[in-house]
Structure 1
């Protein structure tokens, strides 16, 4: 029985989340192994030789050939910001939560992210994930992997990619606090 690509993606991200769980294990050997793997995955951004050190982790999950680079990217992003699965949200919603806490600079960063072309998106994502880690804002890596398969794959210029960008933007801008502050701003503008 073969597993579908979606199931393989879910198994891969579940393994990433288990690395985070191992960090708080009472068994010191498990903690040490998880730290070593996460360090290797983080270093994968440094260059080809360092990326090769992450291959054993990623390729053990049998990524489709067209998605191999994307799985490596997601593994590295997770290693920059390891977290439990609970409270995970889409990248747009996560950035929205961060913008509520940190303001306009995050809004500019998010705007830059969704405007990036395929070649620059991976670099911008690393910056965004580091920023999210500073405030411990969780990201749904299952959804991020699925989104990046489109945004960094062959369909990056199609309607599906545009729908993903629009969903991220909608989830970023639809925050209860942001809506109230927008109403306050428009009320001030109307009175002037």
Structure 2
């Protein structure tokens, strides 16, 4: 029985999240192994030789040939910001939540991110993930992998890629409570 690409992607990200869980294990050997794997995945950004050290983790999940680089990028991004699966948010919502902490510089960074073409997107993503890690803001790596398959794949100029960018922007700019509080304060008081 063959597994679908979606199932393989989910198994891959589940193993990424398991690496984070292993960091909190009471078994020192599990912690050590998880740290070693995460270090190899982080180093994959350094060049081809270092990428080769991460291949065992990536290829154990049988990524489609067209998605191999994207899975490698996602694993490296996770290694920069390992986290548990709970309370994850989309990249747009995560960046939007960071505005209240870091100010308008986050808006500029986010605008640069969604305006990047696919050749510069990976570099910009590394910067954004480091920024999110600095404030411990979670990211949904399941969704991020699926989004990157479109944004960095053959469909990067199509409608689906534009929908992803618009979703990220909507989730970035929509902050529950912010709009309601400004509408409440701008509504004239009843003078009766």
**Shorter chain as normaliser: what TM range?**
over 0.9
Provide the C-alpha distance between the structure 2 equivalents of 1:62 and 1:3, rounded to a whole number of angstroms. Answer: 10
1:170 aligned counterpart, secondary structure = helix
- The within-5 A match list for 1:1-192 is 1-179=1-179
- 1:178, CA displacement in angstroms? 4.0
1:115-154 alpha-carbon deviations (Å, 9 max, x no partner): 0000000000000000000000000000000000000000
- 1:181, CA displacement in angstroms? 7.2
Note closer, same or farther for the CA distance 1:104–1:13 as it changes in structure 2 (3 Å cut).
same
- 1:100, CA displacement in angstroms? 1.9
Structure 2, unaligned runs of 5 or more: 188-192
Structure 1, unaligned runs of 5 or more: 188-192
Give the TM-score taking structure 1 as reference length.
0.94
Provide the C-alpha distance between the structure 1 equivalents of 2:88 and 2:48, rounded to a whole number of angstroms. Answer: 30
After the TM superposition, which parts of structure 1 deviate over 3 Å for at least 4 consecutive aligned residues? 180-187
- 1:182, CA displacement in angstroms? 6.1
Larger Rg computed on CA atoms: 2
Matched length: 187
- Aligned residues: CA RMSD: 1.6
Give the TM-score taking structure 2 as reference length.
0.94
